[in-house]
């Protein structure tokens, strides 16, 4: 289908924005390979503060729904996306300056600094993201979204892998020093500055840039009481997300503080997971179309959690086996998030779409925020009771794995709706899940825009 010159330009600008923004997106997630190594390897902020910092994106996702209506009353979504984007970038420039001079031998001071920094950038990023979602829905034609975002996601994946390779090289060359992280942060912020200037070039057909439907979500909540299958799946997503978030927090702490993984090694693990996930993505799509999404969710999530049993057995001398753990985890996580997206597309009714998105995002965000806070608090206290850190990390990971495996039972005998997922769209509802799987190494999902591709009619 032909497009107007302005639409073609907008699509090119939107793709370029995603390509240049990817390093900044990875930097903005405290569970990602670069941020996790910065916090745990260089500044060694400890379990408590790492739990607090890791919870910040989920906390922002949970509370933005409360403050979004305030901004929606007097800000157009295009202006809102760009304004909060620049505000976020300004906060990061201040954060980079602080990182350059922050003492390395004061973990509590560093922990407080990063908690404030990631709290600020998380809430600005969340508000910017919801506005961007509404805005992009206006200038990307509905009939092109599946094909367009598929292409855009592939290009952002290239940017992700390139930044990961650069990170490995710099962390090895500079021996994971402060200088290496400052160079990587500078690259990420320079790319984000370019992407922000590109956003100014996009001209929306609607001067408002679309409508933020989430602003009126509360009026639709009462209609969801009859959606038993949706509520059941939200419960599953919240329970599973709780254990995922807990495991993600423990993984970084365990890898750096006990297993002796270097920042370059940790990035290599994440790269392996990213590549395996990207390779398996088309396969999972075909299996979901053939056998349904719920069976794939149960299989992939069970396989993912079972594969992580290796965390309980691994030692510093057998750290090379971590590549196999992350290889399997990346492949399974990809199937899990893709199948979850398909099910949510079917379950959220179109007439209550805003409320369904808000309820799913809020519930999963609260669970995703609670887990790292609990993990950080518990692990920071184990030394007071004479428990070794190794035993604490292994016990915590075992608990998260068992909890995750048991959460699959929530979906047992759940019937999948026969509705066509191509008839619905739920932009923004999967944000917390995408952030959680980044903590597990599947970095290419951090900026993925999940839109079902329409099947071509013959």
Identify the CA nearest to 445 among candidates 275, 243, 292: 275
Please give the residue that has the higher pLDDT: either 255 or 205.
Answer: 255
**What integer is the mean pLDDT of 302-331?**
92
Using pLDDT thresholds of 50, 70 and 90, give the confidence band for residue 219. Answer: low
pLDDT of residue 1: 45
Q: What percent of the chain shows pLDDT beyond 90?
A: 49
**What integer is the mean pLDDT of 337-363?**
77
pLDDT > 80? residue 5 = no
What is the DSSP annotation of 292-319?
-HHHHHHHHHHHHHHHTTHHHH--GGGG
CB distance 231 to 166 below 8 Å = no
CB distance 277 to 442 below 8 Å = yes
Compute the residue count for the chain: 458
pLDDT > 90? residue 154 = no
Using pLDDT thresholds of 50, 70 and 90, give the confidence band for residue 79. Answer: confident
What are the tens digits of pLDDT across the range 173-192? 999 999 999 999 999 999 99
Sorted by sequence, the CB contacts under 8 Å of residue 119 that are 6+ apart come out as 56, 59, 60
CA 155, CA 449: separation in Å to the nearest integer? Answer: 12
pLDDT > 90? residue 392 = yes
Mean pLDDT of the chain: 84
Using pLDDT thresholds of 50, 70 and 90, give the confidence band for residue 130. Answer: confident
What are the tens digits of pLDDT across the range 404-415? 999 999 998 888
pLDDT > 70? residue 92 = yes
CB distance 431 to 140 below 8 Å = no
Angle (deg, nearest 10), helices 431-439 and 46-72: 160
**What integer is the mean pLDDT of 79-100?**
94
CA torsion, points 193, 137, 31, 59, in degrees to nearest 10?
110
Q: What percent of the chain shows pLDDT beyond 70?
A: 83
Residue whose tokens read 């709290």: 119
What are the tens digits of pLDDT across the range 187-218? 999 999 999 999 999 887 766 555 555 445 55
pLDDT of residue 458: 40
**What integer is the mean pLDDT of 269-298?**
86
Using pLDDT thresholds of 50, 70 and 90, give the confidence band for residue 119. Answer: very high
Using pLDDT thresholds of 50, 70 and 90, give the confidence band for residue 375. Answer: very high
Structure letter (DSSP) for residue 38:
I
pLDDT > 80? residue 8 = yes
Using pLDDT thresholds of 50, 70 and 90, give the confidence band for residue 457. Answer: very low
Q: Largest alpha-carbon pair distance within the chain?
A: 69
**Alpha-carbon distances of 295 from 292, 336, 403, rounded to whole Å:** 6, 10, 19
Please give the residue that has the higher pLDDT: either 391 or 351.
Answer: 391
Using pLDDT thresholds of 50, 70 and 90, give the confidence band for residue 71. Answer: confident
| Domains of the chain, earliest start first | 11-445 (1.20.1250.20)
Collapsing DSSP to helix, strand or coil, 12 comes out as: helix
**What integer is the mean pLDDT of 244-250?**
92
Identify the CA nearest to 154 among candidates 456, 358, 444, 400: 444
Residue 420: how many other CB atoms lie within 10 Å: 11
pLDDT of residue 215: 46
pLDDT of residue 139: 78
Global pTM exceeds 0.85: yes
CA torsion, points 440, 441, 443, 446, in degrees to nearest 10?
10
What are the tens digits of pLDDT across the range 417-450? 765 555 455 555 555 666 666 665 566 555 565 5
Collapsing DSSP to helix, strand or coil, 414 comes out as: coil
CA 339, CA 165: separation in Å to the nearest integer? Answer: 29
């Amino acid at each position: 289908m032909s497009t107007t010159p302005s639409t073609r330009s907008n699509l090119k600008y939107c793709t370029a924005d995603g390509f240049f923004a990817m390093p900044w997106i990875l930097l903005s997630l405290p569970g990602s390979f670069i941020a996790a190594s910065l916090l745990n390897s260089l500044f060694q902020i400890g379990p408590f503060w790492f739990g607090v910092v890791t919870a910040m994106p989920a906390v922002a996702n949970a509370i933005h729904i409360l403050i979004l209506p305030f901004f929606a009353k007097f800000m157009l979504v295009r202006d809102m996306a760009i304004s909060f984007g620049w505000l976020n970038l300004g906060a990061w420039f201040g954060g980079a300056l602080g990182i350059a001079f922050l003492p390395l031998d004061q973990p509590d001071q560093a922990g407080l600094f990063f908690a404030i920094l990631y709290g600020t950038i998380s809430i600005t990023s969340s508000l910017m993201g919801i506005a961007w979602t509404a805005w992009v829905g206006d200038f990307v034609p509905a009939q092109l979204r599946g094909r367009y975002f598929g292409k855009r996601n592939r290009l952002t994946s290239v940017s992700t892998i390139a930044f990961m390779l650069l990170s490995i090289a710099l962390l090895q060359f500079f021996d994971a020093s402060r200088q290496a992280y400052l160079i990587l942060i500078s690259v990420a912020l320079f790319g984000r500055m370019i992407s922000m200037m590109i956003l100014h070039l996009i001209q929306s057909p609607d001067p408002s840039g679309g409508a933020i439907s989430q602003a009126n979500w509360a009026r639709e909540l009462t209609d969801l009481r009859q959606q038993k299958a949706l509520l059941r799946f939200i419960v599953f997503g919240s329970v599973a997300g709780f254990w995922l978030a807990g495991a993600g927090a423990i993984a970084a702490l365990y890898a750096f503080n006990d297993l002796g993984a270097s920042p370059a090694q940790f990035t290599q693990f994440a790269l392996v997971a990213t590549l395996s996930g990207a390779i398996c993505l088309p396969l999972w799509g075909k299996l979901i179309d053939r056998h349904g999404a719920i069976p794939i969710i149960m299989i992939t999530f069970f396989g993912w959690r079972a594969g992580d049993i290796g965390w309980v057995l691994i030692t510093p001398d057998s750290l090379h086996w971590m590549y196999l753990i992350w290889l399997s985890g990346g492949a399974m996580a990809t199937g899990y998030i893709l199948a979850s997206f398909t099910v949510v597309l079917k379950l959220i009714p179109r007439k209550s779409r805003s409320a369904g998105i808000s309820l799913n995002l809020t519930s999963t965000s609260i669970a995703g925020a609670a887990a790292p806070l609990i993990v950080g608090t518990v692990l920071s206290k184990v030394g007071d009771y004479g428990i070794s850190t190794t035993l604490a990390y292994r016990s915590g990971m075992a608990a998260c794995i068992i909890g995750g495996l048991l959460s699959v039972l929530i979906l047992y005998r759940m019937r999948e709706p026969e509705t066509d997922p191509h008839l619905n769209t739920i932009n923004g509802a999967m944000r917390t899940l995408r952030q959680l799987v980044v903590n597990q190494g599947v970095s290419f999902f951090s900026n993925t825009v999940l839109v079902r591709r329409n099947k071509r009619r013959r």
